[in-house]
Structure 1
């Protein structure tokens, strides 16, 4: 209880808001060739140093830790960090971060990662904490904003890895032959043939409405249809719902061509739709509303057919994307490979994300006692249910930095204890 009592005293007797403001100015002060600006920065830094010294004197036992906390974490974040330390007794030693609608949000941050979030990530990087960016985006897109936000030096330092296209590949600059690993090349010929079939026809055979309303994301392996409308808009939701049904039909056609699948195209289509509707309540809802849900039971899907479908993922993201992917190439597989390349043998990760593909990583680290999960308030309901049932690390839209500040507090307590 002494830790909690002293923490109450810190935030009760010292103006932590002012310290955080000073720290933010020091961190984010623009680099300009001006003696006046430089003098002002020095004044701010000196004031910050003096205020931190006052805290160190007031709390001789926890002084340096408390001074750092006051400059980075709000009171509730500091207490949550202490709670997490007392629960896990470990510091976070790697970040696993989704990007779209997690680090950045089209709703509140103009689709850019906020400056304070990037600054905090840089702070953790300077402390030696690796960063794994884990996204459904293409590698080139991720590399672009990562270099723009974190800087080329950090991205190419050997301590940053990019798991892209939901785990089809891993890019870890600075690791020689292990720098780029195309995990989809490890899939067997049968599965690769299915994806080749779907990819070759997805645009050419699409109805005109889908060709006008969607585009194909430039993936290396996954087949992802994206809307030509604002993400989440009514028009985007409508066209992606249609794209989902269309992709299920394409997949059914490709599966019916396999030698070991017995059944005509219509029957295979019924099995495919029924299988994925049973797996995902959102897919079930889309098919039901479109009048495309077969009137058969999931138990009617033959074992041989189920064996193949168990390896293929249908990703539905309302108003954002409809995707055919491989369950053998999930984000979990990609993160495992990234940890291997980064030589993280005993991970304790913070996994931040908003979608069902992120949820798989969250569950994986939880089941292996290898980390904690955080999600934005607008995440998929299944993600929110999981996060709230574990450590309740839910943050406001565009405020991923709040979780980073909580983790900063956790790590400070771990260093102290």
Structure 2
């Protein structure tokens, strides 16, 4: 209990709240061309160091305790101690979802907060690789990564981007391994299904969907997005209809791939995915499109195609088809291989079912922690609460990142 006693003393005897306020001010102070502002920043920096020196002088592990106190609350420090006692090792790679995890349209204007970006740079400086793991297109992710983290970090050889939920991996600075198109490794039969759906999805769509939706600019996955504000009632209505339409397009393409013309393919396809996803079933029921067939009657030839393809529904946000052979786990494994992380102990942060696959993967292999925002999908939240209970408020991913920063500082004490 010695470390716990030290932390009790630290937070009881020192004004750690003011210390954290100084640290945050110094960390995120904007670059301004003002002598008065710079003098203010310099004075704050000196006061920060003076307060840290008081802690350094008081404890044998003063450097560690000063850095912990400057970044995490009492609760965060004790959570970090519990995690260090449980796992006995530091986090050596970050695996991070973007939308509604690092950034949130709800409270941060869909930008990654500056305090979050700063903590990520601290992990980078400490030699911890970063894997951005997202359903977004590569170009979108590259843009915000360079803007937020800076070109030096993005091209350092210590950052990898798993994009389109695992269809590709981009790791700058690794020669021939820099960009890997994992979808090219799929069998031609499955690639043909996606090519067929992609070619027809907008041209064949009813006018309402053509006006109300657009395609995300993916390299492989087919993702229908609303032409309305994400989360709005209009977006919910159009995405519900887009899901039904996408299922029927997939049914036709899959039956063609199975070389069997099946009049009941749309009904069987709806039944197949409704049986495996309660959200999809709920949409079909709301739209009056739930099929009067049993999933047990789906022909083997059709089922053999469908069981390799994932249909994802994100309420009021997107309807998507992707390959079950290419998911975030596949992408993360390839990214870790390129980055040379042979014995990972990862922090996985995310909010959706695709992130849950990575969380379950680290849990099964005892190689990491999982964290999620409080508005994450029900299954994702349940998993996080059953493991390490690292749930954070919307837009406050920085709280978990700082807790893990403290975990790593404690782990260095041996």
| Residue matched to 1:242 | 241
Tell me what 2:197 maps to.
Answer: 198
Give how far 1:78 is off: 0.6
Kindly indicate whether the alpha-carbon contact (under 8 Å) linking 2:255 and 2:265 is maintained by their aligned counterparts in 1: yes
Match of 1:358 in 2: 355
TM-score (norm 2): 0.98
Q: Deviations along 1:33-63, whole A, 9 cap, x unmatched?
A: 4443333322222211111111122222x21
Q: Tell me the distance in 2 between the aligned counterparts of 1:35 and 1:291.
A: 66
SS in 2 for 1:106: coil
Structure-1 residue corresponding to 2:341: 344
Cα distance in 2 between the residues matched to 1:305 and 1:257: 9
**Structure 2: distance between partners of 1:315 and 1:64:** 47
Once the two structures are superposed, what CA deviation does each residue of 1:331-381 show, in whole Å capped at 9, x if it has no partner? 111111100110000001111111111111110111011111111111111
Q: Is the partner of 2:325 in helix, strand or coil?
A: helix
Structure 1 unaligned spans of 5+: none
Residues 261 and 305 in structure 1, CA contact (< 8 A), matched pair in contact too: no
- Equivalent in the alignment of 1:267: 264
1:27-38 paired onto structure 2 within 5 Å: 27-38=27-38
Task: Count residues in correspondence.
Answer: 414
- What SS class does the counterpart of residue 136 from structure 1 fall into? coil
- TM-score w.r.t. the length of structure 1 is 0.97
Aligned partner of 1:283 in structure 2 is 280
Paired with 2:412 and 2:205, the residues of 1 have a C-alpha distance of 57
8 Å contact from structure 1 (residues 122, 150) kept in 2: yes
Deviation at 1:319, TM superposition (A): 0.3
Shift of residue 304, structure 1, vs aligned partner: 3.1
- 2:124 is matched with 125
Provide the secondary structure at the position in 2 that maps to 1:72.
coil
SS at match of 1:257: helix
Q: CA deviation at 1:22?
A: 1.0
Pair 1:373-2:370 in alignment? yes
Deviations along 1:92-124, one digit per CA (max 9) or x if unpaired, are 011111111111111100111111000000111
Q: Offset at 1:282?
A: 0.3
Aligned residue in 1 for 2:385 = 388
Q: Conserved in 2, the CA contact under 8 Å of 1:167 and 1:335?
A: yes
The structural deviation recorded for 1:263 is 5.1
What does residue 24 of structure 1 align with?
24
Aligned equivalents of 1:289, 1:237: Cα separation in 2: 12
Shift of residue 274 of structure 1? Answer: 1.0
Q: Which moved more, 1:21-30 or 1:138-147?
A: 21-30
CA RMSD in angstroms, aligned pairs only: 1.2
Q: Aligned pair 1:405/2:414, yes or no? A: no
* Unmatched 5+ stretches in structure 2: none
Shift of 1:231: 0.5
